[in-house]
């Protein structure tokens, strides 16, 4: 059984969480190491989903609806989740 979704604004660092929202932007970085940053927004605030080692992720485009699960961090004033599990659509 999966946990209920939480609002991004109330995420607790280092506590596994599940959130849903719409992708606002996708940025691909090639240097110094490949990564893709996806900004997810749920109405309460943004969450950066960082996919390390990936130069783009198929299907992750602005406007798509995602449900993500992972362990958030709070770095430099930004909520961040590295290599989260994700699925498209709305929570069950």
pTM for the model stands at 0.89
1 has pLDDT over 50: no
Which of 63, 48, 6, 55 has the alpha carbon at shortest distance from 31? 55
pLDDT value of residue 56? 83
Q: What's the mean pLDDT in 52-79? A: 92
Residues 75-84 pLDDT 10s: 998 899 999 9
Distance from the first to the final alpha carbon of the chain: 10
Helix (H, G, I), strand (E, B) or coil at 10: helix
Rg of the Cα atoms in the chain: 12
Residues 29 and 19: their CA atoms lie apart, in Å, by: 24
Tens digit of pLDDT for each residue in 27-52? 999 988 999 999 999 999 999 999 99
């Amino acid at each position: 059984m999966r946990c209920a979704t939480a609002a991004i604004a109330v995420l607790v660092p280092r506590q596994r969480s599940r959130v849903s929202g719409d992708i606002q932007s996708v940025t691909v970085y090639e240097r110094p190491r490949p990564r893709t940053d996806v900004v997810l927004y749920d109405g309460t605030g943004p969450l950066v989903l960082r996919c390390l080692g990936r130069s783009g992720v198929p299907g992750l485009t602005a406007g798509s609806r995602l449900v993500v699960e992972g362990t958030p961090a709070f770095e430099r004033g930004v909520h961040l989740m590295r290599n989260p599990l994700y699925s498209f659509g709305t929570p069950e």
